[in-house]
């Protein structure tokens, strides 16, 4: 399943979830995200895998019964009614006309979808440069109340980003919860890597450049593994190739 706003205009509005066939599944305010988004833990990853709570975690599966969703640019386009600027709208229409209509589930189509959003961003920046609220000298708002709980959502370039903060009477943060886009896409990335590996490896033969080809599958989601795992540095990668009996025949690693 995929989620995004009604129109890709990145305004403050409800989160929309659609099914793999493009039908609306739910629409909810960000303050209700605990009712719709949950996190699953696997022993082989520091990253948590998000899923739709009403559907439940049913493993790394696809289809209507899968609780897995994605929040990448392609997901936004699939869940939207169109783009909010004219040139981006034309690109949006060309995208779906070329790829056979909505929804599109080709992993590498994320790159095309990202280009459409870049067009939108350029048009929107031009609008904002002439917005009197942006050019006004009134640029600072001082808080008048002591916050307790704050929940916010933004459609970041790589997908939906959720922040939740709890504060004490002094306004100091006592609890924080972040669900970054990479977590929303984590399960989809794992499934894409599996598909790529099965499609590229035949009879146990591993061709040169396999790591780069498999990496294309998860790079399409523009992951930030540091954000999702709270780790810094280069992304280590270990690929273990097993035969039909489950025995390891080869290991490729990049530390």
**Which residue, of 129, 160, 191, is where some domain finishes?**
129
172 lies in a domain? no
Asked if 173 and 150 touch (Cβ cutoff 8 Å), the reply is: no
36 lies in a domain? yes
Angle at the Cα of 108 from the Cα atoms of 107 and 111, rounded to 5 degrees: 120
What's the pLDDT tens digit per position in 230-255? 666 666 677 788 887 888 888 877 76
9-18, 159-168, 234-243: range with highest mean pLDDT = 159-168
139 lies in a domain? no
81 lies in a domain? yes
- Structural domain for 248, as ranges: 181-254
**Which residue, of 129, 144, 164, is where some domain finishes?**
129
pLDDT at position 10: 40
pLDDT at position 199: 87
- Find the mean pLDDT for residues 32-42: 95
What is the domain count for the chain?
Answer: 2
């Amino acid at each position: 399943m995929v989620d995004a706003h009604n129109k890709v205009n990145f305004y403050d509005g409800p989160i929309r979830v659609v099914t793999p066939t493009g039908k609306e599944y739910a629409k909810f305010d960000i303050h209700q995200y605990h009712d719709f988004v949950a996190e699953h833990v696997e022993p082989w990853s520091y990253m948590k895998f998000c899923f739709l709570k009403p559907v439940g975690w049913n493993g790394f599966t696809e289809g209507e019964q899968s609780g897995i969703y994605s929040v990448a640019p392609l997901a936004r386009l699939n869940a939207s009614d169109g783009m909010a600027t004219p040139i981006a709208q034309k690109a949006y229409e060309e995208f779906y006309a070329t790829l056979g209509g909505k929804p599109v589930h080709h992993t590498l189509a994320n790159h095309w979808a990202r280009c459409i959003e870049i067009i939108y961003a350029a048009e929107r920046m031009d609008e904002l440069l002439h917005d009197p609220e942006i050019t006004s000298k009134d640029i600072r708002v001082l808080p008048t109340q002591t916050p307790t709980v704050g929940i916010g959502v933004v459609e970041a370039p790589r997908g939906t980003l959720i922040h939740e903060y709890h504060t004490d009477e002094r306004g100091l943060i006592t609890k924080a919860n972040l669900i970054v886009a990479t977590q929303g896409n984590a399960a989809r990335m794992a499934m894409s890597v599996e598909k790529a590996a099965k499609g590229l490896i035949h009879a146990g033969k591993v061709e040169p450049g396999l790591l780069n080809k498999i990496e294309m599958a998860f790079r399409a989601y523009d992951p930030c593994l540091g954000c999702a795992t709270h780790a810094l540095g280069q992304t280590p990668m270990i690929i273990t190739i097993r035969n039909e009996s489950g025995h390891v025949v080869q290991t490729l690693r990049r530390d």
